[in-house]
Amino acid sequence: MATIGAEQIFKEFREHSAAEFFKKNRQMLGYSGAGRSLVTIVHEYTSNSLDAAEEAGILPDIDVCIKKLENGHYTVRVSDNGPGIPKNFVGKALATIFAGTKFHRYMQQRGQQGIGAAGCLLFSQVTTGKPIFIKSSTGKGKCYSCKLGINTALNRPIITEMKESDEDFRGLVIEGEFSEVRYEAGDHGVYEYIRRTALANPHAQIKLLEPEGKEWTFVRSVNKVPDKPPITKPHPAGLDVNDLIEFAHSSISRKISSFLTETFARTTSNKIDEIKAEDPTIDLDKPPKELQWEDAEKLVKVFRKIKWVAPDPASVVPIGADNVTAAIKNILDPEHMSVIGRKPKVFRGGVPFVVEAAVSYGGNSGKRVDEGYSGTILRYANRVPLLFDSGSCAITKAANDVDWKRYGLDLESQPISIFVNVSSVYIPYSGVGKEAVSQEDEIVEEIKLAIMEAARGIQRYVRGKEQISSSMSRYKAIARYVKQLSGDISSLTGKGQASIENNLDNIIKKHFPKLSDDEEEAAEEKPQQT
């Protein structure tokens, strides 16, 4: 075979836009399978609505309306009472990949990538060729509507039919038409997604109109807007050299020392002295624009060596134990539950995060399976339910690492729901589709501790409940063999079957004393410390 030269191969060289990339690889954004694709659309629009309302300090009312058209296509319409999108930003905000208000800020939000809404548009365009419809207003006299497409080669919005009106409206209405989607019931469907969203966002009122015409309202159970997550300064312990240099080179401070105290959290002038003492070879009097890699590397080394006050936990806003309790009561209506909120921890040296966990038993907890139950894990990141890719998620790993028997719990047969929410300024998702939290050691460990704590809080109750039925069924299973076995032994030994059966019965009963005795045992068992 003759070899082909590089010049010829490189005739085929091209550059592509992010829009072209995700158009081709749409499964990476969550558009794989008709059921999942529909959930992805609802997920992107509702989390944008919740983020916007939270930032603006508004109690969100969100309407999700899904219709099936005669040609098999679906329309999805999401309306909210949020702050709206200014007219001059609408194209960039909803029809450009990698654009938004969230990517670069140190602030806890559901979205963090600037991909979601533009991904939906890409999907509608690829499957139906239709633009999406937008109506928005940021307040009185500012209402407009338009249609949005995306020029995939350039990753640029195409805005058409822009109309202004004086409608008295504030918020955003977004409606798209999609093919290759399907409304499905079950654990991975839109209803379940909305139900779980309501569970973690008790301050939101969410309506869902299903294609068959059924309407559901998830009523607000908490009347307070969650605290607005503050924009925080990065913590020095979490910086890498490259970050530090980029911050330095865009700084207008006069000296590196003042740049450090102004830019980063917990960096007082005392700390500057400590840094100087730790490594006197670093020149902190130079302008930050002149900071080179070598000095930056030294600084990062010192940052990781000296003792810092932990990152301000206020940068992370969990749901709160009271709100979780109210929401679980409202939606799962369990017989018993245990809710745990843990203190902030950090991962990767300096990114703070908070884990909340709850274990509930009975009511609508768990899932009906045939004639019994099985446990379910409700995974959340920044209050957003994660329905897919559970196998690669830190929450699943942590839940599976728990030794459930130790708490008398059994996820394979009991009506149990495990609720976990991870809150952070930066959630390290394992993929662009944001369906799983990457299994970083510190995060898995902290989730496991939270679940164990919640499990301890419920074990007494469940143990009492389950003891009688479990003893009875074990006794029945063993007793079933007594007849057969006594017959066999009788024919093997020539002794009478009746007396053998009686003897065996007595042996078995000795092993199953009355339940009241068992309960006393359980009460004596001390809760275990971690």
- Contact with a second copy (CB under 8 A) among 268, 269, 503, 528: 503
Q: Does 400 help bind a second copy (rule: CB under 8 A)? A: no
477 is a site residue for a second copy (CB under 8 A): no
Please identify, among the stretches 16-24, 305-313, 399-407, 470-478, the one whose residues bind a second copy according to the rule CB under 8 A.
16-24
By CB under 8 A, residue 296 contacts a second copy? yes
From 494, 510, 520, 529, residue interacting with a second copy (rule: CB under 8 A): 494
In this complex, which beta carbon is closest to a second copy, that of residue 71 or of residue 270?
71
| Packed helices 293-305 and 269-278: angle between N→C axes, nearest 10 degrees | 110
Beta carbon of residue 56, minimum distance to a second copy (angstroms, whole number): 5
Q: Is 500 in the site for a second copy (CB under 8 A)?
A: yes
Q: Is 469 exposed, middle or buried (0-12, 13-18, 19+ CB in 10 A)?
A: exposed
Which amino acid type is present at position 85?
A: I
63 CB neighbour count, 10 Å cutoff:
18
The reply to whether 279 sits near a second copy by the rule CB under 8 A is: no
Minimum CB separation of residue 27 from a second copy in Å reads: 5
- By CB under 8 A, residue 47 contacts a second copy: no
310 by DSSP, 3-state: which? coil
Count residues binding a second copy (CB under 8 A).
Answer: 82
Q: Which of 370, 403, 492, 516 binds a second copy (CB under 8 A)?
A: 492
φ and ψ of 352, to 5 deg: -75, 145
By CB under 8 A, tell whether 245 contacts a second copy. yes
Contact with a second copy (CB under 8 A): which of 37, 79, 108, 138?
A: 138
Q: Scanning residues 307 to 336, which ones bind a second copy (CB under 8 A)?
A: none
Q: Which two tokens stand for residue 465?
A: 């409940």
Instruction: Identify whether the C-beta of residue 325 lies closer than 8 Å to the C-beta of residue 340.
Output: no
Strand positions, DSSP E, 292-375: 336-341, 345-347, 351-361, 367-369, 372-374
User: Closer CB to a second copy, residue 113 or residue 364?
Assistant: 113
Q: Which of 35, 60, 84, 352 binds a second copy (CB under 8 A)?
A: 84
- Distance between CA 231 and CA 108 in Å, rounded? 8
Tell me: does residue 249 bind a second copy (CB under 8 A).
no
Q: Which stretch binds a second copy (CB under 8 A): 2-10, 212-220, 255-263, 328-336?
A: 2-10
User: Cα–Cα distances in Å, from 156 out to 88, 160, 177, 524?
Assistant: 14, 13, 20, 68
Instruction: Give the number of residues written for the chain.
Output: 530
Q: How far is the CB of 170 from a second copy (least distance, A)?
A: 9
Here's the x/- map for a second copy, 356-395, by CB under 8 A: it reads as ---------------------------------x-xx---
Rounded to whole angstroms, how far apart are CA atoms 256 and 249?
Answer: 10
Using the rule CB under 8 A, give the single segment among 280-288, 321-329, 500-508, 512-520 that binds a second copy: 500-508
State which residue, 98 or 512, has the beta carbon closest to a second copy: 98
Whichever of 159 and 432 has its CB closer to a second copy, that residue is: 432
Binding of a second copy at residue 145 (CB under 8 A)?
A: no
Segment 168-227, which members bind a second copy (CB under 8 A)? 225
Give strand pairing partners of 340: 357
Q: Which residue has the tokens 């460990």?
A: 445
Shortest CB 126 distance to a second copy, Å: 4
Nearer residue to a second copy within complex by CB, 68 or 348: 348
Which CB sits closer to a second copy, 390 or 413?
A: 390
Q: Does 501 bind a second copy (CB under 8 A)?
A: no
Residue numbers 26-45 binding a second copy by CB under 8 A? 27-28, 32
Which amino acid is located at 99 in the chain?
A
Element (H, E) at 128: helix 116-128
Establish how many alpha carbons lie within 13 A of residue 84's alpha carbon, considering only the half-sphere containing its beta carbon.
Answer: 19
* Per CB under 8 A, 160 contacts a second copy: no
* Gap between the Cα atoms of 486 and 483, Å rounded: 5
- 497 lines the binding site for a second copy (CB under 8 A): no
> Residue from 65, 489, 508, 522 that binds a second copy (CB under 8 A)?
489
With CB under 8 A as the contact rule, which of the stretches 185-193, 211-219, 253-261, 426-434 interacts with a second copy?
A: 426-434
Q: Which of residues 431-460 bind a second copy (CB under 8 A)?
A: 431-433, 438, 440
Distance separating alpha carbons of residues 118 and 131, to the nearest angstrom: 11
Q: Are the CB atoms for 440 and 428 separated by under 8 Å?
A: yes
Report the C-alpha dihedral over residues 179, 180, 185, 190, rounded to 10 degrees: -60
Which of 37, 108, 127, 360: binder of a second copy (CB under 8 A)? Answer: 127
Q: Residue 37 corresponds to which tokens in the numbers above?
A: 């694709």
Q: Which stretch binds a second copy (CB under 8 A): 120-128, 302-310, 324-332, 443-451?
A: 120-128
Does the protein bind a second copy through residue 104 (CB under 8 A)?
yes
How far lies 92's CA from each of 98, 114, 170, 254, 350, in Å?
A: 9, 10, 20, 35, 32
Q: Does 85 bind a second copy (CB under 8 A)?
A: yes
Amino acid at 248: A
Residue range at the interface with a second copy (CB under 8 A); choices 102-110, 254-262, 324-332, 361-369:
102-110
CB 120, CB 48: distance < 8 Å: no
Which has the closest alpha carbon to 356: 422, 312, 417?
422
Query: Helical H runs in 157-292?
Result: 190-200, 241-249, 256-263, 269-278
Give CA angle at 93 (177, 26), nearest 5°: 50
* Tokens linked to 463: 């143990």
